[in-house]
Amino acid sequence: MMGIGPSFGGFDFFMFNLFPFLFIAVFVLIIGSIIFSISRNAKNARAPKESAFVRVVAKRTEVRSHMNHNHHNDHHIGTTGTSRTYYYITLEFDNGSRKEYLDVKGLYGLVVEGDTGYAATQGDWIVAFERSSESQY
Q: Are residues 137 and 124 in the same domain?
A: yes
Residue 4 placed within a domain: no
Q: Are residues 61 and 32 in the same domain?
A: no
List % helix, strand, coil for the chain (3-state, nearest 5). Answer: 30, 45, 25
Average pLDDT over residues 46-63: 97
**Residue span of the structural domain in which 36 resides:** 10-46
Q: Are residues 89 and 68 in the same domain?
A: yes
d(CA 94, CA 52): 9
Q: Are residues 39 and 60 in the same domain?
A: no
pLDDT in tens, 107-117: 999 999 999 99
Q: Are residues 113 and 135 in the same domain?
A: yes
Average pLDDT over residues 87-102: 98
d(CA 22, CA 27): 9
Q: How many domains does the chain have?
A: 2
pLDDT in tens, 120-135: 999 999 999 999 986 5
Write down the pLDDT at residue 20: 82
- 105 near 127, Cβ under 8 Å? yes
β-pairing, 98-103 vs 116-122, is: unpaired
Residue 127: CATH number of its domain? 2.40.50.660
* CA R_g for the chain: 25
Burial of 90 (0-12, 13-18, 19+ CB in 10 A): middle
Write down the pLDDT at residue 5: 53
pLDDT > 90 fraction of the chain, expressed in percent and rounded: 66
Please compute, for residue 113, the number of CA atoms within 13 A of its CA located in the half-sphere on the CB side: 7
pLDDT in tens, 61-77: 999 998 877 766 666 67
